[in-house]
């Protein structure tokens, strides 16, 4: 069964994100909204963080880099896509260098936005699957490592018991 993708839109100006929200919802992506970093924090650090975050460059209480920093502290990976009002090549490079998944500027072309959404969703689903497999492997390794220790303790107990007989 395929995991349902969710997105969080963080914005100060609803006009910027209205078309994006409609497009996400038309692709059956669960959408939540936040108006500030503080408002987004609990959703990003909760039990079920969103797969994707679309954030404006400037927010009421921070900037895109603050959002990126908050997503890094989430228990699951999150892809961040920065939405700018203006084409700014320096900002574009900075956003990607700091680890955001992509940088987009309205007005959104349906085919281009669809491509960004599909790539970001496929990427995050794959990253979360790897994290889940790594977690399962680490748990199995932990069990395997603890078993010999228990066995050694039992052998030591047997030796001590034999010496007293």
Q: What is the pLDDT of residues 139-149, one digit of tens each?
A: 665 555 655 55
Count of structural domains, the chain:
1
Q: pLDDT at position 144, please?
A: 59
Strand partners, 63: 58
User: Residue 104 domain-assigned?
Assistant: yes
**In which band, very low, low, confident or very high, does the pLDDT at 98 lie, cut at 50, 70 and 90?**
very high
Q: Which residue has the higher pLDDT, 13 or 31?
A: 31
Q: pLDDT at position 74, please?
A: 95
Tokens of 145: 């490592």
CATH number at residue 127: 3.40.50.2300
Whole-angstrom distance, CA of residue 139 vs CA of residue 126: 20
Of 42, 36, 28, the C-alpha closest to 118 is 28
Q: For the whole model, what pTM was predicted? A: 0.82
User: Residue 26 domain-assigned?
Assistant: yes
User: Residue 34 domain-assigned?
Assistant: yes
User: Residue 21 domain-assigned?
Assistant: yes
User: Residue 140 domain-assigned?
Assistant: no
Give the domain extent around 16.
6-135
Mean pLDDT for 134-162 is: 57
């Amino acid at each position: 069964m395929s995991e349902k993708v969710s997105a969080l839109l963080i914005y100060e100006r609803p006009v910027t994100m209205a078309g994006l929200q409609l497009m996400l919802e038309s692709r059956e992506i669960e959408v939540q909204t936040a108006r500030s970093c503080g408002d987004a924090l609990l959703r990003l650090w909760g039990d079920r963080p969103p797969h994707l975050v679309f954030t404006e460059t400037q927010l009421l209480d921070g900037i895109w880099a603050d959002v990126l920093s908050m997503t890094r502290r989430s228990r699951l990976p999150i892809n961040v896509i920065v939405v700018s009002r203006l084409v700014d090549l320096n900002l574009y490079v900075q956003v990607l260098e700091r680890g955001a998944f992509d940088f987009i500027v309205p007005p959104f072309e349906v085919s281009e936005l669809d491509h960004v959404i599909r790539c970001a969703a496929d990427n995050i689903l794959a990253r979360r699957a790897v994290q889940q497999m790594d977690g399962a492997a680490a748990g199995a390794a932990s069990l395997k490592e603890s078993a010999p220790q228990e066995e050694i303790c039992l052998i030591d107990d047997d030796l001590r018991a034999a010496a007293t007989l």
